[in-house]
């Protein structure tokens, strides 16, 4: 037996703000992926020697590259925020009979995010 | 119920989502915005400095996890986004292409980091 699939327009996600936000959240993974592939290219250039590497990082200063990174950062932040706010939905924490409030599950994510970002920055900036 | 390999892909998706949420923004900010705009020291990304940083095995392992897991996160989301946009008929093909791309990306990442 073949299940019935209701025909749906490919533009359904434009019909409501929450659908659009959902779609932007899903698309964030594309920008994160493209950034990481570029990071991989950077590491590959590093393995090819100073000339190849310097050429790559000079390209990071082009206006187009900076624009891409600004857009990618906006999508990455959208992913971070939506991911943190999903945690209480994905994980129900109970304290005795009481369910731990969502805010108490979300907040530690922000703390960990700030700490981890600081650690990465410390290493990269040569602390 | 038919045996399913969805739990594997879902676990990788989830782990990649965590890595992307906590670590990707600072990387984009540092290499793509702060350094090109001169907000941090000009020698931050110097060849010798990066070589020294990545000579440490833990730094390489970190980069492997940073790149590989979010690729699986992308694969899972992108696959279902395309299905939601109406490509339900080629669901299996999409799964092969998306997860396949993430696997290829993981292998290439391992190779690059190994030869570094």
Cβ-count burial of B36 within 10 angstroms (0-12 exposed, 13-18 middle, 19+ buried)? buried
Which of B45, B53, B74 lies closest to A32 in CB terms? B74
Q: How far apart are CA A123 and CA B13, in angstroms?
A: 27
Whole-number pLDDT of residue A74: 96
Asked whether the beta carbons of residue A125 and residue B36 sit closer than 8 angstroms, the reply is no
Q: How far apart are CA B105 and CA B98, in angstroms?
A: 11
Q: Which of B9, B35, B36, B60 to mutate to test the interface with A (most CBs of A within 10 A)?
A: B36
Question: Tokens for B89?
Answer: 């008929």
Whole-structure pTM value? 0.88
Give the 3-state DSSP-derived string for B9-39, with helices as H, strands as E and coil as C: HHHHHHHHHHHHHHHHHHHHHHHHHHCCCCC
Whether A1 and A56 share a structural domain: yes
Which of A44, A46, A117 lies closest to B26 in CB terms? A117
Please name the helix (run of DSSP H) or strand (run of DSSP E) that holds residue A94, with its range, or none: strand A94-95
Q: Quick check: B89 pLDDT over 90?
A: no
Q: Whole domain around residue A97: which residue ranges?
A: 91-127
Q: CATH number of the domain that A50 lies in?
A: 1.20.1300.10
The answer to whether position A42 is within a domain reads yes
Q: How far apart are CA A71 and CA A77, in angstroms?
A: 10
C-alpha count within 13 angstroms, C-beta hemisphere, residue A66: 10
Q: Which of A50-54, A62-66, B35-39, B93-97 has the lowest mean pLDDT?
A: B93-97
Beta bridge partners of B112: none
Block means of pLDDT (10 residues each) for chain A, 127 residues, are: 78 81 90 96 94 95 96 96 87 82 87 95 85
**Structural domain count of chain A:** 2
Sequence-separated (6 or more) residues with CB below 8 Å from residue A10: B85, B86
The answer to whether position A72 is within a domain reads yes
Whole-number pLDDT of residue A23: 87
Q: Which of A127, A121, A25, A109 is nearest to B25 (CA)?
A: A121
Asked whether the beta carbons of residue A5 and residue B88 sit closer than 8 angstroms, the reply is yes
Whether A5 and A62 share a structural domain: yes
The answer to whether position A84 is within a domain reads no
Whole-number pLDDT of residue B3: 67
Cβ-count burial of B2 within 10 angstroms (0-12 exposed, 13-18 middle, 19+ buried)? exposed
The domains found in chain B, sorted by start residue, are 7-115 (1.20.1300.10)
């Amino acid at each position: 037996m073949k299940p019935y699939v209701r025909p749906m327009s490919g533009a359904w996600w434009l019909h409501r703000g929450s659908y659009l936000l959902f779609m932007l959240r899903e698309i964030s993974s594309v920008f994160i992926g493209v950034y990481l592939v570029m990071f991989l290219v950077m590491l590959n250039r590093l393995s090819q020697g100073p000339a190849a590497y310097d050429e790559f990082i000079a390209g990071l200063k082009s206006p187009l590259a900076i624009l891409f990174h600004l857009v990618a950062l906006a999508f990455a932040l959208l992913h971070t925020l939506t991911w943190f706010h999903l945690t209480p939905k994905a994980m129900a924490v109970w304290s005795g009979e009481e369910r731990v409030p969502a805010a108490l599950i979300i907040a530690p994510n922000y703390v960990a995010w700030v700490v981890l970002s600081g650690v990465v920055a410390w290493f990269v900036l040569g602390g | 119920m038919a045996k399913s390999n969805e739990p594997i892909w879902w676990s990788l998706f989830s782990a990649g989502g965590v890595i992307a949420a906590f670590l990707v923004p600072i990387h984009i900010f540092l290499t793509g915005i702060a350094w090109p705009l001169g907000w941090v020291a000009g020698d931050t990304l110097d060849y010798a400095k990066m070589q020294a940083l990545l000579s440490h095995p833990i730094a390489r392992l970190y980069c492997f996890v940073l790149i590989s897991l979010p690729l699986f996160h992308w694969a899972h989301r992108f696959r279902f986004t395309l299905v939601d946009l109406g490509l339900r008929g080629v669901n299996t093909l999409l799964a092969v292409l998306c997860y396949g791309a993430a696997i290829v990306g993981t292998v290439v990442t391992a190779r690059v980091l190994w030869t570094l």
